[in-house]
Amino acid sequence: MRGKRVLLMPSDGGGGFGHVSRCQILAGQLREQGAQVLLLVNQKSTLKRLARGLPARQVDIPRHPLWYVQRLVKALSPGPGYNYTLFEGLAFQVLRDGIWSPDILAGLIRRCRRAIRDFNPDLIVGDTSLVAGILGQLCSVPVVQIVRFLNHPDYGRVIWWKDYGDRIQPPQVLPIINTALEKVGLSPLERPLSLLAGDHYLIPSIPQIEPISDVDHKNSFVGPLSLELSGQAELAEPYCQFPRENPMVYVTFGGGAQSVHTEALVDTVVRAFAGKAINVVIANPQMVTAQDRNLPENIRMFRWVPGQALIAACDLVVSHGGYGTLMEAVRLGKPLLVIPFHAEQEGNGRRLAQMGCGECLLPYREEDLKTVEKSFSGELFRYLESRQMRLTGEEVASAVQGLLENPDLEKNLGGIQKQIKQFQPGQALKLLDLYL
């Protein structure tokens, strides 16, 4: 592995940091083994976060003029107080990332190929990158993809717990993809998920969480891609300025939460715990409602917190159900209350509840879900949305209390921890080494 070059390509268009953080961890481990690494990202904000750490390069996605208009309208409009979305398929990510025409996708491929020529990698690692697999084919470089059940190229599905029929219809993006592939001399795809195809698939989890039964020479579970805490997690002030006899709840809604206007949810959480014998630390990157509020003595709110240390120190985590937080919580044996913002997170919460390691508390009712119909490239697509924040502080408080008093949680979480410990921290590296 020493002297080999590995290009890591995380998806970073959604505002969260899960894909990037997994690639960061792999890159750090690769460097320790003497490999040269480069992270290829699309967002300037991601590049800034990586500025003092690993080598990184930004490749801008070519933008359609209407993309800038859409961003301006979004910035100037107050938007809904809260919104929840149910969607299906990778096609929505294609639109979210601004891949609105064959020329845009072909242009992105050309820009990434220039970076590949400069770096000359021996291996490409993608984490939901839309172009990693394409670049591997064009440049004759093996590709290892980090995938989950919901985005596995062979059988991925986001909404596995219910069939919404034609109320949800993904946008028709295959003409865009296949026209762009024709421009660069590649064969067409049969479905968008094939963009994530690779020579090998790393599943950053365990079989109890990701129901991928076809584990063979091409699909490998590697356990959570996360950093081990060194020694006991000691929380510095002001995170632990609480009565020590009370349980601690850590509340985090992730970096991507700004797109769903979490003010109403933060208010609900504050009402849920105000004055109770529970210590609460809220991580709120947007600091919604915090600056002008006199918070109760048992609640602290911060723009940034040492998340892993807080998970280790707390008794329970309240989260939107992001995959990184979920895996970190179960790895450290902490129950999780999931309040999701969209379908992927709801699926994560439902899996957790099935395992008896937490609860999924839906912020909507079925009757609130309205079909949103839009047009793209002359074709209609549909998804479901709720703009009603139905959760009350009493419901959140009741769910938390129920989890804290659940006698089965410790046993269930202990079983999951035992399964996770079967995967060695360097297991992913051994698999990558097969392609170097």
**pLDDT at res. 284:** 74
Predicted local distance difference test score (pLDDT) of residue 303: 77
| pLDDT score of 302 | 84
pLDDT value, residue 50: 79
Q: What is the mean pLDDT of residues 90-119?
A: 94
Domains of the chain, residue spans: 5-227+424-433, 248-420
Between 51 and 232, the higher pLDDT residue = 51
Mean pLDDT is lowest, of 100-114, 182-196, 369-383, for 369-383
pLDDT value at 233 more than 80: no
* Amino acid 232: pLDDT: 45
Tell me the pTM.
0.91
Residue 231 confidence (pLDDT): 45
Share of the chain above pLDDT 90, in %: 63
pLDDT above 80 for 371: yes
Question: Do the domains 248-420 and 5-227+424-433 match in fold?
Answer: yes
Q: With cut-offs at 50, 70 and 90, classify the pLDDT of residue 90.
A: very high
pLDDT of 229: 56
Model pLDDT, residue 14: 59
- Is pLDDT above 90 for 378? no
Query: What pLDDT shows up at residue 305?
Result: 81
Print the SS3 string covering the chain. Answer: CCCCEEEEEECCCCCCCHHHHHHHHHHHHHHHCCCEEEEEECCHHHHHHCCCCCCEEECCCCCCHHHHHHHHHHHHCCCCCCCEEECCCCHHHHHHCCCCCHHHHHHHHHHHHHHHHHHCCCEEEEECCCCHHHHHHHHCCCEEEECCHHHCCCCCCCCCCCCCHHHCECCCCHHHHHHHHHHCCCCCCCCHHHHHCCCEEEECCCCCCCCCCCCCCCEEECCCCCCCCCCCCCCCCCCCCCCCCCCEEEEECCHHHHHHCCHHHHHHHHHHHCCCCCEEEEECCCCCCCCCCCCCCCEEEECCCCHHHHHHHCCEEEECCCHHHHHHHHHCCCCEEECCCEHHHHHHHHHHHHCCCEEECCCCCHHHCEEEEEEECCEEEEEEEECCCCCCHHHHHHHHHHHHCCCCHHHHHHHHHHHHCCCCCCHHHHHHHCCC
pLDDT at residue 237, rounded to an integer: 62
Per-residue pLDDT tens over the stretch 152-205: 998 899 999 999 999 999 999 999 999 999 999 999 999 999 999 999 999 999
pLDDT, the chain, mean: 88
Q: pLDDT tens digits for 402-420?
A: 999 999 999 999 999 999 9
pLDDT tens-digit readout, 235-294: 656 666 777 789 999 999 875 555 555 677 888 899 999 989 999 999 876 655 444 567
Domain topology for 5-227+424-433? Rossmann fold (3.40.50)
pLDDT higher than 60, residue 45: yes
- What number does CATH give the domain 248-420? 3.40.50.2000
Read off the pLDDT of each residue in 133-162 and give the average, rounded to a whole number.
95
Q: What is the pLDDT of residue 290?
A: 45
